[in-house]
Each structure stands twice: as C-alpha cells, then as structure tokens.
C-alpha cells in the first residue's frame, strides 16, 4: 500500500494542484468514513492499540502520541474520519471569529525534492459560529480527542485581537478537549507580533475569561509558537507559560526561512511567500523544543510538530521533552498508512529501550531545569 501510494503520488498527485488534491482526498475520506461502521472498523485496524503508547496528558487519555496538526480540517468537517486513519488525536482549525476566504490561489505548493510544503492559506475557514454549530450536531457517540486551534480574523486590528480570540473561545470551548491560541502563522499580517509577552499576556487573559463564561474555566489552554523566534523570545514565552499557568506549548508552526533547501532557487522563488513545513523544519523545531524543555521541565506539556517523518523523528522529539507529537506534511508525503507506521515504529522503540510506556521516555535526553534540582527518572536510559 505504501509503495502504491508513492507511485501514485509521483506519477499523478504531484502534478495536480495541491489544494485541489487536498479537497478531493478529504472529500473521499469523509464519504467513506460516513458509511455505517466504516470509521469504527478503520480505527480498530489502523488506530494505536499498543498499550505502551497510551498517553495521559492535559487531563485526557490519548490512545497514541501522534496527532494530526491543525490546518488539514479547518472547519471540523470530519475529525472522526481523520482519527480513523490512526491518529491518536485531531486538532481542527485554525478557526477565526469571522468567516474569511483566505488568500488568493494558488496558495498551497509542494517542494517535492525537499519533502516540504509552502502554504499561504491565510486562515481560510467558515468562522467559529458555523464550526461550533457543526460540532454541536456531532456531539455524542465515540469521537477522537479533539483540539481546537483559534486565530485572529485578518481584518481585526492587533489592538482588538484579545476580543477577537475571545469570541471564538466562547463559542468553541465546550466542544474542545484542549484549546490552542495560534499566534504564529506567517500568513496573517501582524499575527506573529502577538507572540511578544506584552501582547500575549492580555490575549490569554481574554481567552481564559471567555472559557470561564462558556462554563469551561479548566479547559487546557496551549499556545502555538513559531520556529523563527529568537532564542531569548522562546525563553520569554516559556517563562510566560509558567507565570500564567498555561497547560502547554506547541512547537512549532511553519517557518518563513528558506535556508538549506535543495530545491532550485528559481523553483523556491516561484513558490512564493508563505509558511514552509516538512523536512527542512526538522532541526529548528527540535532545537526550540529542547530549549523549552530545559526552561519549563515537566511543568508544561510540550507538543512537538515540524519535520516529523519517521518513528525515529517522533522518538527524538519525545526524548527531547515532547509528551505529544503532531504531523501534517508527513501524511501528505507518507500516505494514508503513515500514522499507523509511526505508531507501530514508536511501540518498537519503546520496547527496545526497556520502557513500560512511552511516557517514561519523555525528556530522557534533556536534563531537568536547574531550579528543580531533579533529573528525569529515565535520563540515563538508552533508546533508539
């Protein structure tokens, strides 16, 4: 199946507009998994079922540590269908307070030689009111652990961003297992300015007030940051997370950097502006993760995303301090069985390292922060 997908990808899919392929393939998945019993059957076959992969984090139980990152299902059209591919959790969005069409097309392009994607989608989505209505009608029954990622409406001035985020939080909090404040996409003008501590603190306060008003004051709240932050800014976000009692940090979003690409300069220039995801992001995302772990220890849940392609990539993030990992571009290049391959590979790595559960490996390669005077129990263990 994997070989067949690679043949189809190279012969057909890579020659078709990336956004069109996404739209058609997602429609096909929704159609198949909407049939009675199909999603449940797929989940039993493809889902993580090794007991050592179960993760307890953010007050929830995740059947496996690999989730689907935000961006694939912006409007909560089929989180259960995506979970049936084998993901341990699904994050929808980014959702904004008001519906918006996003940036002009083409806005999703592949750099196949680098196993990367350039996107400048611009938070195209149907708005938090409609997404909330869709989630309301799908309540009940089995559903995956669901993250909801919210962002700023493009036309909203920076000064009014806290109120804008609060609208979406009020509407969506009741349907989420965790909520993510996205201040790191490069495709909404001025959005990344909100990563500054002075801008981020009142924004988080507004979101928390909205969560309380929605009746979910204890809903886990996370922030998603960019790989392009300077190291001292990463430290500042980490310190803010501790000071404000944030539940987690997602590291990292896409990058505006084009360094180290093997794709020709002409092709890169033709792809244009936007956030770069995939393999080229691997090293910087890992560096940011390690820096965060060294700063916050196990007091904040870290979610790693960016350049994860193989079980070894995911394992390295976990040993560097990530409790959970996410992928998106890996699915595009790896095909529909990619989540199952990652989870099976992780299970083998857990067993070969002598751990009883994957949670024991979290942070094994990173010393504890100096102020705790503690080391992870598994710091001296060996692993893949």
371 is an annotated ligand-binding site residue: no
127 is an annotated ligand-binding site residue: no
329 is an annotated ligand-binding site residue: yes
149 is an annotated ligand-binding site residue: yes
123 is an annotated ligand-binding site residue: yes
- Find how far residue 270's CA is from the centre of its chain: 27
119 is an annotated ligand-binding site residue: yes
Choose among 129, 248, 256: nearest CA to 191.
Answer: 256
328 is an annotated ligand-binding site residue: yes
Q: How far is CA 66 from CA 43, 190, 302, in A?
A: 14, 31, 13
The b/e string for 60-86 (b: 16+ C-beta within 10 A; e otherwise) is eebbbbbbbbbbbbbbbbbbbbbbbbb
211 is an annotated ligand-binding site residue: no
253 is an annotated ligand-binding site residue: yes
Residues 6+ apart with CB under 8 A from 196: 233
323 is an annotated ligand-binding site residue: no
Choose among 25, 1, 230, 254: nearest CA to 117.
Answer: 254
Q: How far apart are CA 252 and CA 66, in angstroms?
A: 15
20 is an annotated ligand-binding site residue: no
Q: How far is CA 215 from CA 129, 134, 208, 209, in A?
A: 17, 19, 11, 10
Q: How far apart are CA 293 and CA 286, in angstroms?
A: 11
First to last CA, the chain: 26
Q: What is the Cα gyration radius of the chain?
A: 19
125 is an annotated ligand-binding site residue: no
Selected catalytic residue, list 78, 168, 184, 185 = 185
307 is an annotated ligand-binding site residue: yes
Q: How far apart are CA 214 and CA 203, in angstroms?
A: 17
151 is an annotated ligand-binding site residue: no
59 is an annotated ligand-binding site residue: no
Q: Is 185 a catalytic residue?
A: yes
Active site residues: 185
Q: Which residues fall in the annotated binding site for substrate?
A: 74, 119-123, 182, 187, 253-254
Residues at the binding site are: 70-74, 94, 119-123, 149, 182, 187, 224, 252-254, 278, 307, 328-329
- Name the binding residues for FMN: 70-74, 94, 149, 182, 224, 252, 278, 307, 328-329
């Amino acid at each position: 199946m994997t070989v067949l997908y690679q043949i189809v990808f190279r012969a057909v899919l890579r020659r078709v507009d990336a956004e069109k392929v996404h739209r058609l393939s997602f429609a096909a998945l929704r159609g198949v998994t909407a049939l009675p019993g199909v999603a449940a059957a797929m989940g039993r076959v493809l889902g993580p079922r090794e007991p050592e992969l179960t993760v307890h984090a953010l007050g929830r139980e995740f059947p496996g540590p690999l989730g689907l990152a935000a961006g694939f299902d912006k409007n909560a059209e089929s989180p259960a269908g995506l979970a049936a591919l084998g993901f341990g959790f699904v994050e929808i969005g980014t959702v904004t307070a008001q519906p918006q069409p996003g940036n002009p097309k083409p806005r999703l392009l592949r750099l196949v030689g680098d196993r990367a994607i350039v996107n400048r989608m611009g938070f195209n989505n149907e708005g938090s009111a409609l997404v909330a209505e869709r989630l309301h009608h799908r309540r009940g029954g089995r559903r995956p652990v669901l993250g909801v990622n919210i962002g700023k409406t493009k036309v909203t001035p920076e000064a009014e961003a806290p109120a804008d985020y609060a609208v979406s939080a009020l509407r969506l909090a009741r349907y989420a297992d965790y909520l993510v404040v996205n201040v790191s996409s490069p495709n909404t003008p001025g959005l990344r300015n909100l990563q500054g501590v002075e801008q981020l603190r009142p924004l988080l306060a507004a979101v928390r007030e909205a969560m309380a008003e929605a009746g979910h004051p204890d809903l886990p709240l996370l922030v998603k940051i960019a790989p392009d932050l300077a190291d001292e800014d990463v430290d500042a976000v980490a310190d803010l997370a501790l000071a404000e009692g944030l539940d987690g940090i997602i590291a990292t979003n896409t990058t505006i950097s084009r360094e180290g690409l093997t794709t020709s300069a002409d092709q890169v220039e033709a792809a244009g502006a936007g956030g770069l995801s995939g393999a080229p992001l691997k090293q910087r995302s890992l560096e940011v993760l390690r820096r965060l772990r060294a700063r916050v220890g196990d007091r904040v849940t870290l979610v790693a995303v960016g350049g994860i392609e193989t079980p070894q990539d995911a394992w390295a993030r976990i040993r560097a301090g990530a409790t959970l990992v996410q992928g998106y571009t890996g699915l595009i290049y790896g095909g529909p069985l990619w989540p199952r391959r990652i989870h099976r590979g992780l299970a083998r790595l857990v067993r070969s390292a002598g751990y009883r559960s994957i949670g024991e490996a979290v942070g094994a390669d990173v010393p504890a922060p100096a102020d705790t005077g503690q080391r992870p129990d598994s710091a001296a263990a060996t692993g893949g």
